[in-house]
Amino acid sequence: MRYIYYIIIIFVLLSAVIGYELIIRHEPVKDAALIINGRIITTDEFNRLYSSRPSHLKEKSDFINHLITKELLIQESQKEGIDKDESFRNSIQNFYEQSLIKLLMDRKCASLRVTRCDDELNRYISFINKRLHLTIFSFNSAEEAKKGNFRNGESKITNFEDLSKEIRDSIISLKEGEMIEPIKTGEKYVVVRLDKVEIPPSKTLSDAEKNGIKKILIEEKKENIMNDWVDDLRKRAYIKVLLNGKN
């Protein structure tokens, strides 16, 4: 008789669990857009995901199918414990850090209000299409470059547009015979002297071309400001490098 009671109790419990699952699965959830097993996606969440959907998912039905497939694969991965693997945690950590850095850089860049004055723009335009005769002096350190021991420089003839943006920005303010301040390129510091400017036949730039150049200059200036900002962060930080026994 006791075993019959046990069987009845077990049957009642199983019925309650099954009934509860059926009720939960069929009971409408307030403001639900999608229910995928135990995962409830609200209308607000769905609209947010849909607004940032990949460009190739143009139709809403395609996006819904994509979302369902992705959620099912995530749930299956969790069942198999993949989310607890060390490699998975490392990849999530790396993604989180990269996303955090990108958001910081984007926010900092968006806060910049950079303009180029007409004088800078005109100087830049005056160098376009010109061939420059340069002498390049290389040094091992900034201190060495600032001492001004300018001998045995490398002569070079190049188009203005082929110079690096750092040298272009510096050289537009020079007259023939003048030199730019030391610039780090790779492991070396260079000082460039403008020896001669070959003036080609004059060409009048359109307003569209001038506006394009202005946008390039503004972006380059933003990049310079961002680089200076990162350098300042490094200078103000406590950094200790321990590699091969060296501090």
Write down the pTM of the prediction. Answer: 0.47
Q: Of 183, 203, 223, which residue constitutes the final position of a domain? A: 203
Does residue 20 have a pLDDT over 60? no
Count of structural domains, the chain: 2
Looking at the fold, whether 89 and 127 belong to one and the same domain comes out as no
Looking at the fold, whether 89 and 124 belong to one and the same domain comes out as no
Report the pLDDT averaged over residues 159-169: 84
Residue 85: inside a domain: yes
Task: Give residues with Cβ within 8 angstroms of 128, minimum separation 6.
Answer: 160, 161, 205, 213
Residue 113: inside a domain: no
Looking at the fold, whether 188 and 136 belong to one and the same domain comes out as yes
Q: How do beta strands 131-139 and 39-42 pair? A: unpaired
Looking at the fold, whether 85 and 123 belong to one and the same domain comes out as no
Report the pLDDT averaged over residues 229-241: 77
Per residue in 174-214, pLDDT tens? 888 888 888 888 778 888 899 998 877 666 677 787 788 77
Domain that holds residue 172: 119-203
Cα separation, 165 vs 73, in Å, equals 47
What CATH code is carried by the domain that includes residue 188? 3.10.50.40
Looking at the fold, whether 85 and 10 belong to one and the same domain comes out as yes
Ranges of H-type helices in the chain: 2-26, 43-51, 60-79, 86-111, 118-127, 142-146, 165-171, 207-236
pLDDT of residue 99: 84
Looking at the fold, whether 33 and 79 belong to one and the same domain comes out as yes
